[in-house]
Structure formats: C-alpha cells, structure tokens
Chain A
C-alpha cells in the first residue's frame, strides 16, 4: 500500500461538508465525471463509498498526478474546452464543485455538463450572502472571507452569481432543479425550496442537482 492510498483512506472519513452534500446526491454504482476534481477528495469518496465508475478532469498538474497516483482515473484538462470531447449522455452525473464562477463561459459549461451527463450537480459560493452584502453596503469593499479568500485582483472567480441569479439562469436555460441546498457559514445545510429569500441571504454556498426535462 502506498502513501497516497494511506492518505486517501485517512481523509475518506471526513470530506468537506459541501462535498458530502454532493456525494449524498449521487446514486451508488452510477457513472460520474468530476470536473475540476482537485486532488480527488470527492472522487475517491465516491469510488470507495458509492462504488461509482468515476472519472475526473483537473487543470493542475499536481492535482492530476496526485489523483492518478491514488489510482483514480483523472486526466489533465480544462472544463471550458475538454468537455466538448465527451459524447452525449456518457455519464449519470457530471459534478462541478466550486468552479462554475471561475469559468469563462459558465452557461456553456452548464450546457455541456447536461449534454454529457443525465444530471449535473453544481456548487458555488453565494455572492448574496449577508456578509457579502454588508461588506459591499457598509464598507464598500469586495468580499474577502473564509469561503472567498482572495482579493479582487487575484481571485480566480470571474463570474460571481447569487443563488437567485442561478435559479433564474436555470429557468432561462430550461434546466429543472431537482434539489437545491444552501449551506450557512456554520456548515448547516437547508433546502432552498420556497424560502429563496432566506437562503439567498444566509447561504454562504449552494449545491444544485439539475437535469434537463
């Protein structure tokens, strides 16, 4: 057993809360593509606890090599260009965790995810969280906090949106929201449902399960 394997076993017990929420939405034994899979935390969990046939795409070489060294089928690639190469309906789920806001063309990425996957699961930071609002309204500054740690000039996030914005976009793109969950700053999850105003104010991040009807 190699080091990477040992590490991954240790971390399997405690994956990030938002990743756990995504994992809970995935049916066991399904085919999953994790776009922007980082060092493979979520993918490793899904492969070992949900027995999925999992694949990953990751931009950073270090992330890719960590994944492959841990036995995960991951390729070096870019969500913006490389999703075009996959055939339609190749996966049951296509996952995009905390990356949509960093893409050049989020709409196109969503389109592609729902083309190659029967379902898509997307998580992103909510720009309408009360702390962002307070920061902008009272201090007149762009938000910098735990979930958005970078200054405006070096953040990878170029397409911020709010929970409300995202729901409107799904509506415009004829995407059905199957489930939606917001996570507050303490990591507590709640369904968004009809309480959109509250979710949009209190949710630091959100997770959506989507499909095309």
Chain B
C-alpha cells in the first residue's frame, strides 16, 4: 500500500493523456458569476450511445467533486471502469442502447476542461490562482454551451449525485425549457455550514502544504500531494457512514497482530484512508480541488430568488425524482425534503424516495438495488410520458 509521502515531492506528474475536448465561448464568451468573461476555452466530454433523429434521447450526467467525464467504459487514466459504470451502459439503467449519454468535465476541473491546471492562452502559463472563482451556475451555463455546440436543443434527463445533483437543480432553474426530467441525488439546495467546514479543512490542508507554493506549484515543478491527500482523507470519511466504516474495518489491525505503540497505520481504516488519499493525488489537481469545493460552498440556489427556493422552480415543467439515502450525513434526507417541499410549493411533478442503506453518501455510486429500482421506474415512466407527448 502506498502512503501519501512515498511520492517524491518533485517530479511527480499525472500521466498525460489527451481528452476529447471542444472549444467553447469562441463567438460569445461565458460571463461568470464573479464577473469575469471566459472565452475560447476547452471543455472535455464523453458521449455514450447514439443521438436519435428527433434528438429526444439525450441524458446529461453531471459528475461530483472528484468525478470526471469518464462515466462508463474504461477510465483512460486509472485503468478502472468509469465512476458510474454500474448505472451507465448497454442494457443498464441509463441504457446506452436507448439513450445518448453525455458527461462533461466541469468548469474548473482537471480532466481537460478549462481550470487552474490548464494553460491560460493569454500568458502561456498555467492559470493557477489567476483562474476566476467559479460557481455551480457557471458550470451549468458551460454545459448548456456544450449542448448548443452539439446542436442538442433539450435533455430527456439531467441526472447527478452530490455536486452533480446541485448542477441538476441549477439546470431546472436556469434552463427550464431544456429539461424534461431531473434527478437530483444525495444533494442539497444549499451547502450547509457543516459541509463548508469540512471543505475548509481540506483546503487548509492543501494550502498548508509547502509544495502548494501559493498555488504556483505547476510552474515550480512540485505537487502539494500531502495536502491534497489529507483533504481527500477527510472528505472520504464524510462520504461513508459510521455503520459502513464499522462493518468494513471495525478496529481491525493492518497486517499486524498487535498495536505498535507508534503512529504507523496500525488500523485498517487508517491504511485505507492513506490509500484513498494517495491514489487521489495521482489523478486530481490540488488547485482544482480548491476551486470546486469553493463553488460548492457558494451554492445556495434560493439566494437568487429572494431566499424562496420554490421560486427557482416556478418556470419548470420537468418531472423530478429526488433521491436520498438514510445514512448520508453529508447531505441528509432533510435537505432532500427541503427541495421536495419547494417543488411542491411550485406545483412541480415530483417523486421522492429515501433509500435505506448503510453506505452513506457514497451509496449513489454503489450497488444499491432499491435505488436502482426507483431510478429505473422513474426513467421508464418519464420515457413513457415523453413518448406520449411526442
């Protein structure tokens, strides 16, 4: 098992691969919430399946904080299946024999879409901290630009978990005419103080790493891998539940019969977290982590609507399926209920199911038969209605 500090501080670099990208904002720039105009920027994306003639079968999958555009198939960088391989593919719930599934790397990401790691064409240097602070709404506007570029007028469904769910809510609010059905999973309409607190802990870990170099580590040829690994370790705990940590690890020791009276990874759970931290560093950019967590912290959908969340959904005709998980303490069911209340107040069509599971927040990525049954049923129903409406 690789501990985070086994990487050599200098000279570590993620394997370079070329992502499928498209240049957006060429004719018309993207005006970000912070006021900056972003123009002529790359967006990386993947598609699965075939767009039908009437262009009515497009599904946009929105990825979470540490996700990327590689939803299904083999991930080119990590040599493992894509992050939602269990749900997306031929004959699966998001059936790529039937639907055209699109997933783009979010704005600020580090898998080919413009972000702090990418080169600023005006300076020829990596953006670093000169990259503008982005929001969830900015991410969604950029995705809408991608759809324009692909000449896709509207989406049969927009779906995502965690930060992906926040994008789904923004989609319904910002582009009500372009969304037929919306599935926000394990998310919230606003980022809670607790969530901001955890993010701040992670950001502090990154910026406290001497190799962060005030965000300029790319140019200086180093990587703040210790800080990023710790950020990931903290975050990873929030994605699990007490029950799942207990059943996976309990107090079991790692490759030893007794504790060592030292600070080595005596416990399996420690070893597991160190592994999670170190593998994350191989595929994720520390500055991206700062920007994306910030975007999540700033998320409060009701804010634009004088604090009345229902107003955000006033224009939408989308069918919603809100899903939460019993042991998710990062985005607890109460926060999904808050969304449902607002949708009801806006007289929107909404389904809401809470799925019983021990898997915590991460449940949306895992084998959860009840969750899948609900999701499949909802999509089949929406499909039937879409068919009826022609």
Contact = CB atoms under 8 A, between A and B. Distances in A.
Given A69-B373, A85-B341, A90 B347 contact: yes
Contacts of A65: 353, 355, 370, 373-374
B347 A87 contact: yes
A53 B384 CA distance: 14
A1 B376 CA distance: 10
A73 B344 contact: no
Interface string B330-371: 000000000011001111011111111000000000000010
Interface residues of B, number: 27
The A interface, classified by DSSP as helix, strand, loop or mixed, is mixed
A27 B349 CA distance: 19
Contacts of B346: 87
A5 B380 contact: yes
B111 interface: no
A158 B246 CA distance: 41
A71 B344 contact: no
A165 interface: no
Given A2-B377, A4-B377, A53-B349, A68 B321 contact: yes
A75 interface: yes
A75 B349 CA distance: 10
Interface residues of A, number: 25
B381 interface: yes
Nearest to A5: B380
B352 to A, nearest CB: 4
B378 interface: yes
B97 to A, nearest CB: 15
B184 to A, nearest CB: 13
Interface in B261-286: none
A74 interface: yes
Nearest to B374: A68
Interface in A48-82: 53, 55, 61, 64-65, 67-77, 82
A86 interface: yes
Contacts of B350: 55, 73, 75
Nearest to B383: A71
A90 B343 CA distance: 12
A98 B340 CA distance: 25
B386 to A, nearest CB: 12
A190 to B, nearest CB: 36
A87 B350 CA distance: 14
The 6 tightest CB contacts between A and B, nearest first, are A71-B381, A69-B377, A75-B352, A68-B351, A90-B347, A85-B341
Interface of B: 319, 321-322, 340-341, 344-347, 349-356, 370, 373-374, 376-378, 380-382, 384
Given A68-B352, A71-B377, A75-B344, 8 more contacts: A2-B377, A68-B351, A71-B381, A72-B381, A73-B319, A73-B349, A74-B352, A85-B344
